[in-house]
Homo-oligomer: A and B are copies of this chain.
């Protein structure tokens, strides 16, 4: 679930569907490192995390998604370490019988991950290094799922 190496979206989704014929929908998401954030160029970023709590927090998100929707499989992979613009950071893939549930669960997991999983980004810019501040838009996105 947490790794420094790159992941392969196609391989992860193929692994989900291999040998089964009950999946009707796989919604997936890949988050990538951008070369621009808050108006300045980003040359690289380093992702730090809280080993132990990260795995626990991600497993809790997946459990909650499984409680809220009828899902057949869920994969979450988050990279840590130093990444360059264009590098994939996070992958979420959700399999379900129906597309509405797959989409909702995939977006829920991403929104919740942004506010509940202990990862921190530090960007390298022409002006030096800076820790990325949490975004209020992420809190807003996550709060949509509160009942």
Contacts and interface: CB of A to CB of B under 8 A. Distances in A.
A27 B25 contact: no
B27 A29 contact: yes
Interface residues of A, number: 37
Stoichiometry, copies per complex: 2
A24 interface: yes
A25 B32 contact: yes
Contact of A107 (B26, B28, B103, B137): B103
Interface in A66-102: 85-86, 88, 97, 99-100, 102
A145 to B, nearest CB: 13
Nearest to A98: B137
Interface stretch (A15-23, A47-55, A57-65): A15-23
Nearest to A99: B110
